[in-house]
Amino acid sequence: MFGRKSESWLIVGLGNPGKDYTGTRHNCGFRAIDALAGELGCKIDKGKFQGLYGQTTYLGKKLFLLKPQTYMNLSGRSVLQLSAYYNIPPQRIIVMFDDISLEPGRLRVRADGSAGGHNGIKSIIKELGSEAFPRVKIGVGAKPHPEQDLADWVLSTFSASEEKVLSASLPYAGKAALCIVEKGVSEAANQYNGFRP
């Protein structure tokens, strides 16, 4: 029904649903996908596949934007359900998420790889049975004290100065994802790796 030009892509933003998690480090993926949806004029308001999603077109390609509503540790269930239904392979699933190894607001594009300790990515790898999906990592800063609990850190909010940088950076995470769709991972990495506003 759809030709090659209408191939489907899925862009996922990771986070936890509910007011308690709004503004936390772990919810950068949600914020990045919201910014991208605004840029594309796409409403993420369809409730299905254990998530909220929207659908639009970009350069003749079908684009799905997804916010899993399963909580972070089970994100892969939502990603698998939508991608299986619309027959989207891992190579066309782009995941935007928080990374504690990068300073706040810094971006990094990757073609594939391990979970690196991120439970959302771990779940997606498990459900898809593949590590071969592109990612846009959004820096949220490292724990200030090594002994601090990781869960407490990623569920904390940003300082005013961090928030300023992060807010400026989030739209570029979406631009990096669109660059992957249009020009491929290598070009997106060349343009956005190390980016920070």
- Residues belonging to the active site: 26
Looking at residue 130, its amino acid is S
Residue 68's closest CA among 42, 101, 33? 33
Q: What gap in Å lies between CA 18 and CA 136, rounded to an integer?
A: 23
d(CA 57, CA 18): 28
Q: How much helix, strand and coil, in percent to the nearest 5, is found in the chain?
A: 45, 20, 35
Straight-line distance from the first to the last Cα atom of the chain, in angstroms, rounded to the nearest whole number: 42
- Beta strands 93-99 and 135-139 are parallel
